[in-house]
Amino acid sequence: MTDMHPIQVTELSKQFPRKKRLGSVHAVSDISFNVKHGEIVGFIGHNGAGKTTTIKCILGLLKPSEGSISLWGKAPADSRVRKRLGYVPENPDYDNSFTPMEYMNMFASMRGLAGTQNDWKKLLGRVGLARWETTGIKQFSKGMKQRMSLAIALQSNPDLLVLDEPTGGLDPIARKEFREIILEENARGASVFLSSHILSDVETICHRAVILAGGRLVAENSMEKLLGEENLYRITVISRKDGKEVEEVIPEADLQTRIDSLRRDNIRIVRVEAAIKSLEEVFLTATGGGESQ
């Protein structure tokens, strides 16, 4: 049943031709992963790692050079598949001569949705645009356009949300609201594929992460496994040699024994705390310090 995953990417490669004699740029090389039903999957990588290229291939905006992509077992161009999708593009933009409410009405009509003006009003309120329904988009900031983009994506109660850097232009409060909406949508049953630079967002809400570096997949696992299943503790002591603080990370099972041994040796323990590995550390390790290609 792997074919029926909301997203199944198999051995995807995408090359862009360059000018004569310069060959081609390998934006993405041989990557495979999936997004299962009800999952929130984070898609992380440095600038130019191939995240947006992969997302555009998933949406049928780019044709894969090699490999295949299926959404619930069907081609991305299939109209039945597209009806189940919600998409928030990176740096979304809309025609300035319209208002958010006009856009909501037009997108609803194009998608054949049965919602009313009131429904769209509520939805715009949900993403924080309650007072801006009839204001021209030309007055909107980048963050407001992102909110509008999310409202449009949520119009159809999609089964799959594809979010490309959705919180890039948002302030911390708006980012928190965005995360809450994503979690609510996931609780409703939607699968979410979230590409983001903001690793704390991915760490907070994602079940799984796919890490890209230089167009290649370098790590893919559940968040627990990436961050380490084993509970680790960090012990900080004062060194006898120079009197400076020294840190040591040990597994929970060895903690008591180590503390006893330090006390026996009359070494001063400054603090003992849970050593939590951050996604940033995992990311830097997996991508070789974040160096591009």
Partner 1 sequence: MKAVYTFSLMTLHMLFRRRTLWGILLVILLALAGIASVPSFDVSNQGRFILDFGLFGIELGSLLLALGLAANLYPRDKETRTLMPLVAVPLSRWQYLLGRFFGAAIVQAAALLVTCLGLMLILLFHKLPVPGDLLPATLLIIVEGWFLLSTVFFFSFFASPPLNWPLTTMLFIVSQMSVSEFTGLLPSAPGLMRVLRMILPHADVFHIKDPIAHGFSIEPVYFLIAVFYGLCYSAFMLSLALAVFRGRDLK
Binding site for partner 1 (CB under 8 A): 16, 56, 59-63, 77, 79, 82, 85-87, 89, 91-95, 97-98, 106-107, 109-112, 149, 152-153
CA atoms within 13 A on the CB side of 93: 4
Least gap, CB of 107 to partner 1 (angstroms): 6
Q: Which is nearer to partner 1, 152 or 192 (CB)?
A: 152
Least gap, CB of 106 to partner 1 (angstroms): 5
Pair 292, 47: CB distance under 8 Å: yes
Least gap, CB of 183 to partner 1 (angstroms): 22
Q: Which is nearer to partner 1, 112 or 172 (CB)?
A: 112
Q: Which is nearer to partner 1, 45 or 92 (CB)?
A: 92
The 3-state DSSP class for residue 49 equals coil
Pair 137, 143: CB distance under 8 Å: no
Least gap, CB of 206 to partner 1 (angstroms): 22
Least gap, CB of 4 to partner 1 (angstroms): 21
Separation of alpha carbons 40 and 25, rounded Å: 30
Number of Cβ within 10 Å of residue 225's Cβ equals 13
CA atoms within 13 A on the CB side of 141: 8
Q: Which is nearer to partner 1, 154 or 209 (CB)?
A: 154
> Could you tell me which of 43, 46, 57, 45 has the C-alpha nearest to residue 15?
57
- Name the residue with tokens 């160096």: 291
Which value, in Å, is the radius of gyration of the alpha carbons in the chain?
A: 23
Least gap, CB of 142 to partner 1 (angstroms): 12
Q: Which is nearer to partner 1, 97 or 118 (CB)?
A: 97
Q: Which is nearer to partner 1, 16 or 189 (CB)?
A: 16
Least gap, CB of 253 to partner 1 (angstroms): 50
Number of Cβ within 10 Å of residue 250's Cβ equals 16
Show the CA angle centred on residue 48, arms to residues 45 and 54, nearest 5°: 70
In terms of Cβ atoms closer than 10 Å to its own Cβ (0-12, 13-18, 19+), residue 95 is exposed
Q: Which is nearer to partner 1, 86 or 283 (CB)?
A: 86
